Structure 1
Amino acid sequence: MPGTISTEQALIYIMVTMSGVEGRIETTELAEIGHIVKHLPVFRNFDHTRLTTVAQEAGEILQEPEGLNAVLGLAAAALPPKLRETAYALAVEVASSDLAVGREELRFLAILRDKLGLDKLVTSALERSAIARYHTA
């Protein structure tokens, strides 16, 4: 397990963790992660060809005993305060991308909110924003 990770790795670790929290990774969630990494300014300096490698690193850590705590600890240490809300928003985007947010995903969001020290009103607003974006006609 790496001692430290980059900001971009931390964001990817969080998205991969969200994607796998229900025990399977949906194709729509993987596609959303790829889209996010390719298009958001926070990933501007990230080598997009490393996405698969970084995602696999996260998966390997998650397989270890206390893997979830390890991933969250690495991510929290790597994220500056101004990007903690971004991390939460990206987790919400991944959870919402398959148009169904399950109990495990909601639990992970609560754990992530607490680990990153985010305000409940802020996280509720981020969640509500995703709901509005993913409504279907």
Structure 2
Amino acid sequence: MQDTAHPLSPQDCLVALMIAVSASDENVRTAELVKIDSAVNMLPIFASYDADRVRTVSALVMDLFEQEDGLDALFGLLRENLPERLFETAYALACDVAAADGTLQETELRLLEEIRYELNIDRLHAAAIERGARARHLSL
């Protein structure tokens, strides 16, 4: 039974944000799904995470996106359940998912801007995170 005050774990919040970025352009690409799966399976922040929760969190995000104020609701859940020390991690994961397919759609860019604002990511830190994501996802 989950605590109603905290329906999402910090890891759930990170997954939700990655899925939100992927779904933001209404076209969830394979490269983005692979990036999310890879993050969940490889990064230390997800070491104790039950990867089967990804499907549940995905359904939650998709349900929220069908609502008029769904993005605001998602950010509300993040503010309630994601520790501030993980805000930059969340933004870095969001940038990696956005960059995974090699193109950034306008909707993805707008969502990244909104994430920066909602998570109060410093402009200099955001630029460094974005540059790192761009460097990791370049192709020949």
CA RMSD, aligned part only?
1.2
Which residue of the partner structure matches residue 11 of structure 2?
A: 8
Q: Which runs of 4+ in 1 moved over 2 A?
A: none
Alignment map for 1:50-89 (pairs within 5 Å): 50-89=53-92
Q: Does 1:38 align with 2:41?
A: yes
Query: Quick check: which one's helix share is greater?
Result: 1
Q: What TM-score do you get using the length of structure 1 for normalisation? A: 0.94
Instruction: Name the % identity.
Output: 35
Q: 1:47 aligns with which of 45, 50, 54?
A: 50
For residues 126 and 89 of structure 2, the distance between their equivalents in structure 1, rounded to whole angstroms, comes to 10
Stretches of structure 1 that go unaligned for 5 or more consecutive residues are none
| Matched residue count | 136
Any unmatched runs of 5+ in structure 2? Answer: none
Tell me the TM-score normalized by structure 2. Answer: 0.92
Question: How far 1:76 sits from its partner (Å)?
Answer: 2.1
Cα drift, residue 135 of structure 1 = 1.3
